[in-house]
Amino acid sequence: MASGFWTIQTQYNSRKLFIEIEKKRTILEQIHQDNANLEVEKLTKATSFRTELIAKETLKMSTATPSITQYVPHPSKTSSSGASK
């Protein structure tokens, strides 16, 4: 009788531990996926930052602002309006 109770208790504990292991494994997979996503995001931002840094420092470029932007009319619009006059 005691060995029957011991067997049932052992099986119960085994199932309980198995379920806990599977939950931890799922959490670990999610953490690995989040880490991979963050690495991609970090590389993307680092590339953009590095490109901007090279443009500013090496090429002496600056960010376009409305005060320094020059708008050039499209050639087809200027020639068609001149022909209709």
pLDDT-derived band at 9, boundaries 50, 70, 90 = very high
39 pLDDT exceeds 80? yes
- DSSP string covering 38-53: HHHHHHHHHHHHHHHH
Q: Where are the domains of the chain?
A: 2-61
78 pLDDT exceeds 90? no
Tens-place pLDDT, residues 13-34: 999 999 999 999 999 999 999 9
Place of tokens 């049932």: 8
Given a contact cutoff of 8 angstroms between Cβ atoms, the answer to whether 61 and 55 are in contact is: yes
What letter represents residue 29's amino acid?
E
